[in-house]
Amino acid sequence: MRLLLATFVCGVAASVVGQCPVEPLQASLNPSGKLVIRYLNSDIRLVRAVQFIVARQQVGQARQLIVSEYSLKANLRPKHDGMAMFELGERNLDRSEWAALAEPLEVEVTRVSFAGLYTWMAPRNNPCRISLSRR
């Protein structure tokens, strides 16, 4: 019985670790030059903060290049969605540099902080990503 219970607990813990507590739903650059990200708190806990990166795959390399990082503080209830807008030049690149990027870009959730001081960090093969569309 203990072996069965231990196997069940390990299986549930492994599946929870691999899931995205905050899922990016849509990411785009709007005409006014802002990065707009819609996301969903798919977890059962209250989200306090989310960290995003914009990344691109380097041609011929397994590693990605982080183009920019963004974070926000928000109280997002479980099973609710939210939207964040960021100025493009507020971090690493200005608007002209963003426009010059020809490779497909992705927005990834890399860290989520919950009420109760619990923090989730994306695993190495981050499944919490979405392609960035340019309007």
pLDDT in tens, 104-124: 788 999 999 999 889 999 998
pLDDT tens track for 62-73? 667 788 899 999
Band (pLDDT 50/70/90 cuts) for residue 97 is low
Residue 54 lies in a domain: yes
Q: What is the mean pLDDT of the chain?
A: 79
| Distance from C-alpha of 113 to C-alpha of 94, rounded to nearest angstrom | 28
Domain count, the chain: 1
DSSP state of 103: S
Confidence of residue 18 (pLDDT cuts 50, 70, 90): low
What is the CB neighbour count within 10 angstroms for residue 25? 13
Residue ranges making up the domain that contains 63: 20-134
Asked if 49 and 113 count as a contact pair (C-beta separation under 8 A), the reply is yes
- DSSP at 115: T
Angle, CA 74 vertex, CA 76 and CA 132 arms, to 5° = 90
Average pLDDT over residues 35-49: 94
Q: Tell me, yes or no, whether 24 lies in a domain.
A: yes
Within a domain: residue 119?
yes
